[in-house]
Amino acid sequence: MLSKRIIPCLDVRNGKLTKGVKFQGNVDIGDPVESARHYYEQGADEIVFYDITASAEGRGIFLDVVEKVASRIFIPFSVGGGINTLDDMRAVLLAGAEKVSVNSGAVKNPDVISQGAAAFGAQCVVLGMDVKRVPKSEAIPSGFEVVIHGGRKPTGLDALEWARTGEALGAGEICLNSIDADGTKEGYDLELTRLMVQSVGIPVIASGGAGSPDHMADAFTQAGASAALIASIVHYGEYTIPQIKEHIAAKGVKMRMVW
């Protein structure tokens, strides 16, 4: 069995590490470069970096910050935000990322998924999904809708159907963020995560809502996630990554322990 992964998430706005609740009320809380190095030294399995306003502002990602982070860590590094074309993907990978997360850009141009997979390999292409609960309908039978532009624009796409489409186009992984749970520290949306894991054959990263190591353990054991994205609980110093991994491993979940 593969080890489950713990992945700190760095949401970046104007070059600063930021955090909000349900995609609103963001406040700047630090330096993403120093935070990335800190989490790497603690034993994070990967780092995810999102330029959270790039798509909504219609601009490219801040490559200088990506380069600085990449120079300070030596674990897989995934970058998203404002990535719309194959050239955008190439620029991010050349800046030092190992993976590219496409979200809003992929909804608007699904071919970018297949183009990226063909050029760089499926393992480099992560389909990022920001998902919100809505009433079930003919168009959205699962009751989970994809929302883009940092949670600002509903798409009318059913999340499970879009995930299957993304997988067919060549995405190698899905990062599934629940807008409803984001920043609440009340736990991941296990129903959404479980449905997603059952719908696709590629790894699913649970995201949104982690408030304790038990929440991550639940995402692994109850919903089948391959990895868990975390933010608030480490950004605010409530837990260290070693504490998180030790707690989860004690529940019988295979973790990569490096200290």
Residue predicted with more confidence, 249 or 28: 249
* pTM of the predicted structure, to 2 decimals: 0.92
Report pLDDT digits (tens) over 69-123. Answer: 999 999 999 999 889 999 999 999 999 999 999 999 999 999 999 999 999 999 9
Catalytic residues: 11, 130
In a domain, 254, yes or no: no
Query: What is the band of 35 on the pLDDT scale with cuts at 50, 70, 90?
Result: very high
Residue predicted with more confidence, 121 or 60: 121
Q: Say if residue 227's pLDDT is above 80.
A: yes
Say how many C-beta atoms besides its own lie within 10 A of residue 2's C-beta.
9
Quote the percentage of the chain above a pLDDT of 90.
Answer: 77
Phi, psi angle pair for 211, to nearest 5°: -125, -10
Q: Say if residue 254's pLDDT is above 70.
A: yes
In a domain, 236, yes or no: yes
Residue 221 sits in a domain of what CATH number?
A: 3.20.20.70
pLDDT at 152: 84
Number of domains in the chain: 1
Task: State which residues form the domain around 219.
Answer: 5-249
Q: Identify residue 49 by its one-letter amino acid code.
A: F
In a domain, 198, yes or no: yes
Rounded-to-integer distance, Cα 73 and Cα 155, Å:
35
Query: What is the band of 30 on the pLDDT scale with cuts at 50, 70, 90?
Result: confident
Two structure tokens written together for 257: 């322990």
Q: Say if residue 26's pLDDT is above 60.
A: no
Measured CA to CA in angstroms, residue 231 lies from 27, 115, 251 at distances of: 13, 31, 22
